[in-house]
């Protein structure tokens, strides 16, 4: 209550102008920004509820929108010197500057990609129509209290003055508008109040047109168009120096105003395009595996860019992520009841992965407890021949055989895959083992150019590793749209609603710093054997070089799959582990051949395989 009283007493009206004690009012900028962030987010979620969209997917769209909005608002206010710093060091200076135009552009450009990735066919643009002006209305109150955007000097009634040290006071002292010993600025146009009036007018117009314009895209165009028109005219009263990016006038207009004119013309073109009602769309399908992969991708981005966000923004984003994870796991549980024992481990691993990103503030107080790594693997090869999933099995003289193959879903022969993951390495305590916990998510892609068929499959794998001095082991599971490499008849391609569950086991003997190391695994690696992940993997490596900068190991890798009917494949390849000690990064290029095990009457083909794996530290 005392805080509210101090705020009320920190502004007064004198000579027809509003005067603000900026030492008191500027403290409210962060709180009001958080309020604007929260209110606009609630409106966006309500729009999804009103449209009866599945929350398991809509929350992910909300997370992505908030992420792009915050990122765009900061990058949009980045000066040329800040961009140079970003390219050189990978970090931005913490100035706290934000711009609404950058936030809107990032959300509009990024949402198209998010929708396609999630296969969300329902319209979403109408939900942003109220999102933009509501956030602008609340946020500009904070701008007025902080004095971050101010207008040109004015003698008309309704101006604003700032008492105490401020950017505007320094500007007027430098321009010899006021003397050095004057603590109150001269009156300037109350630009934030003008923006508030523009946002309020836009909201009233949207309420009036909401039932008359059924196309959400056009409703968003009207919303953004009104905001741009208001911004164009308000900029005539805004001081050039108050812009985050200072530029000279061009033909009497600011560069931002010329950009606004071009964008407004583009919006007019969109406004006269044929309409499409938001009510006429197909039912929204839920793709839980895609949703979880998108959540992990956003979590990885948060890990890398965590210093660009405030603690409040991260808290809101993480809360939405956790709820979305729970909802999508519930969907998976409903699709396949046999995955019920897997629900809790996935909840634990996914929650751990997300929460790992939010301990930045503690790193400045406590000693480091470990490192977080981003891992990845890329595989490109060609399988032996096209395989057709079996639709019908019959009993013959020599046993069961496939009587009918699915010619509409041919498997291969072209194959590539992409794997990304996050791994956290805990600090070793004394002589105990080194613990690692991680999560991989991967995409497999099979091509058959003759049949013009492409198949995409996704799966995830939580795991943990323990490494002693000369012995190591790993345990985990793989679940998702997995190709079955040990089918007794033929390899089975998963249908969209089928989720398989396989164990992940690995052992190692030797040391990374020693002369040799032997690894064995069952579904424990991403070796390029044509079936991902490898059913069985072995590799034996030798130390080649060890100096102060890097460590190189080279060895032979062998993996195989589908041994049940003696028609599987073996992979033989050479690889090199290149560890850069200064940066902590590891690269693992590999090249080899796949030797198909086929009947003696057929010729054996040697098929080349390529792979590249990496592991690099992220965060602090």
Q: Is residue 64 part of a domain?
A: no
Give the span between the Cα atoms of 394 and 305, in whole angstroms: 56
Q: Are 410 and 386 in contact (CB under 8 A)?
A: yes
Is residue 472 located within the same domain as residue 545? yes
Q: Is residue 60 part of a domain?
A: no
Tens of pLDDT, residue by residue over 221-249, are 898 889 888 888 888 888 776 655 555 66
Strands 414-426 and 434-448: antiparallel
User: Which runs of E-coded beta strand occur in 16-84?
Assistant: 17-21
Predicted confidence at residue 67, as pLDDT, reads 83
Give the span between the Cα atoms of 51 and 352, in whole angstroms: 32
Is residue 241 located within the same domain as residue 297? no
Tens of pLDDT, residue by residue over 517-538, are 777 777 666 544 334 445 566 6
Predicted confidence at residue 336, as pLDDT, reads 39
The total domain count for the chain is 3
Predicted confidence at residue 482, as pLDDT, reads 65
In sequence order, the β-bridge partners of residue 14 are: 17
Give me the mean pLDDT over the 82-101 stretch.
59
Predicted confidence at residue 66, as pLDDT, reads 82
Q: Is residue 598 part of a domain?
A: yes
Tens of pLDDT, residue by residue over 379-397, are 777 665 666 666 677 766 6
pLDDT at 373 > cutoff 80: yes
pTM: 0.53
Q: Is residue 515 part of a domain?
A: yes
Predicted confidence at residue 372, as pLDDT, reads 86
Contacts of 118 (CB under 8 A, 6+ apart): 57, 60, 61, 287, 290, 291, 294
Q: Which of 96-110, 185-199, 398-412 has the least mean pLDDT?
A: 398-412
In sequence order, the β-bridge partners of residue 542 are: 516, 554
Is residue 379 located within the same domain as residue 348? no
Is residue 557 located within the same domain as residue 602? yes
Q: Is residue 104 part of a domain?
A: no
What's the CATH code of the domain at 480? 2.40.128
pLDDT at 201 > cutoff 90: yes
Q: When comparing pLDDT for 370 and 371, which is higher?
A: 371
Give the span between the Cα atoms of 583 and 599, in whole angstroms: 49
Q: Are 429 and 466 in contact (CB under 8 A)?
A: no
CA distances to 126, 505, 516, 552, 592 from 541, rounded to whole Å, are 57, 20, 6, 10, 15
Is residue 237 located within the same domain as residue 338? no
Is residue 220 located within the same domain as residue 306? no
Give me the mean pLDDT over the 183-205 stretch.
89
From 271, 305, 327, the end of a domain falls on 271
Is residue 193 located within the same domain as residue 314? no
Q: Is residue 16 part of a domain?
A: yes
Is residue 266 located within the same domain as residue 343? no
Model confidence band, residue 600 (pLDDT cutoffs 50, 70, 90):
very low
Q: Are 478 and 531 in contact (CB under 8 A)?
A: no
Is residue 492 located within the same domain as residue 613? yes
Show the domain range for 148: 2-53+122-271
From 328, 358, 388, the end of a domain falls on 358
In the sheet with 160-163, reading across from the earlier edge strand, the strands are 11-14, 17-21, 160-163
Is residue 23 located within the same domain as residue 129? yes
From 271, 301, 336, the end of a domain falls on 271
Model confidence band, residue 340 (pLDDT cutoffs 50, 70, 90):
very low
Is residue 432 located within the same domain as residue 396? yes
Predicted confidence at residue 435, as pLDDT, reads 85
Q: Is residue 70 part of a domain?
A: no
Predicted confidence at residue 188, as pLDDT, reads 87
Is residue 383 located within the same domain as residue 413? yes
């Amino acid at each position: 209550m005392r805080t509210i009283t101090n705020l009320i007493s920190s502004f007064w009206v004198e000579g027809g102008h509003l005067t603000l004690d900026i030492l008191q009012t500027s403290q409210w900028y962060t709180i009001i920004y958080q309020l604007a962030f929260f209110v606009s987010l609630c409106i966006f979620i309500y729009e999804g509820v009103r449209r009866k969209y599945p929350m398991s997917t809509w929350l992910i769209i909300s997370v992505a929108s908030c992420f792009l909005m915050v990122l765009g608002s900061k990058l949009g206010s980045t000066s040329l010197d800040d961009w140079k710093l970003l390219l050189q060091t990978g970090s931005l200076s913490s100035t706290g500057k934000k711009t609404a135009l950058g936030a809107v552009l990032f959300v509009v450009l990024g949402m198209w990609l998010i929708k396609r990735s999630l296969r969300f066919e329902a319209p979403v643009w109408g939900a942003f129509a109220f999102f933009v002006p509501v956030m602008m209305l609340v946020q500009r109150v904070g701008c007025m209290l902080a004095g971050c955007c101010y207008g040109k000097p004015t003698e008309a009634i309704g101006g604003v003055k700032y008492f105490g040290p401020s950017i505007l006071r320094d500007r007027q002292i430098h321009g010899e508008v006021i003397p050095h010993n004057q603590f109150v600025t001269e009156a300037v146009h109350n630009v934030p109040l003008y923006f508030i009036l523009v946002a309020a007018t836009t909201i009233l117009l949207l309420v009036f047109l909401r039932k008359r314009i059924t196309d959400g895209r056009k409703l968003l165009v009207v919303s953004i168009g009104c905001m741009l028109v208001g911004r164009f005219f308000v900029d005539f009263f805004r001081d050039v120096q108050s812009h985050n990016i200072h530029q000279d006038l061009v033909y009497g207009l600011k560069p931002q105003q010329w950009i606004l004119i071009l964008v407004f013309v583009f919006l007019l073109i969109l406004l006269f395009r044929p309409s499409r009602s938001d009510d006429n769309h197909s039912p929204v399908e839920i793709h839980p595996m895609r949703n979880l992969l998108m959540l992990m991708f956003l979590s990885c981005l948060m890990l890398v860019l965590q210093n660009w966000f405030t603690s409040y923004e991260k808290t809101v984003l993480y809360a939405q992520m956790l709820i979305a994870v729970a909802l999508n796991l519930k969907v998976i549980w409903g699709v396949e009841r046999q995955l019920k024992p897997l629900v809790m481990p996935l909840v634990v691993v996914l929650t751990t992965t997300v929460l790992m990103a939010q301990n930045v503030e503690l790193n400045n107080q406590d000693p480091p407890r470990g490192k977080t790594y981003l891992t990845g693997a890329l595989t490109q090869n060609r399988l032996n021949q096209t395989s057709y999933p079996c639709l019908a099995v019959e009993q013959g003289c020599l046993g069961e055989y496939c009587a009918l193959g699915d010619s509409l879903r041919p498997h291969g022969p072209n194959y590539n895959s992409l794997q990304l993951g996050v791994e956290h390495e805990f600090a070793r305590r004394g002589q105990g083992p080194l613990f690692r916990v991680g999560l991989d998510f991967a995409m497999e892609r099979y091509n058959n150019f003759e049949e013009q068929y492409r198949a995409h499959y996704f799966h995830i794998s939580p795991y943990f590793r323990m490494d002693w001095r000369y012995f190591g082991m790993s345990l985990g599971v793989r679940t998702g749209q997995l190709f079955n490499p040990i089918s007794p008849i033929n390899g089975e391609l998963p249908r969209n609603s089928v989720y398989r569950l396989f164990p992940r086991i690995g052992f190692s003997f030797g040391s990374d710093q020693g002369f040799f190391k032997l690894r064995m695994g069952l579904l424990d690696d991403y070796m390029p054997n044509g079936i991902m992940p490898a059913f069985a993997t072995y590799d034996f490596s030798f130390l080649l070089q060890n100096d102060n900068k890097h460590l190189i190991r080279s060895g032979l890798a062998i993996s195989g799959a589908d041994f049940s009917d003696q028609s599987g494949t073996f992979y033989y390849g050479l690889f090199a582990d290149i560890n850069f000690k200064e940066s902590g990064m590891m690269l693992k290029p590999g090249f080899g051949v796949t030797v198909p095990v086929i009947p003696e009457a057929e010729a054996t083909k040697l098929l080349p395989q390529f792979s590249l794996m990496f592991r690099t530290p992220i965060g602090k």
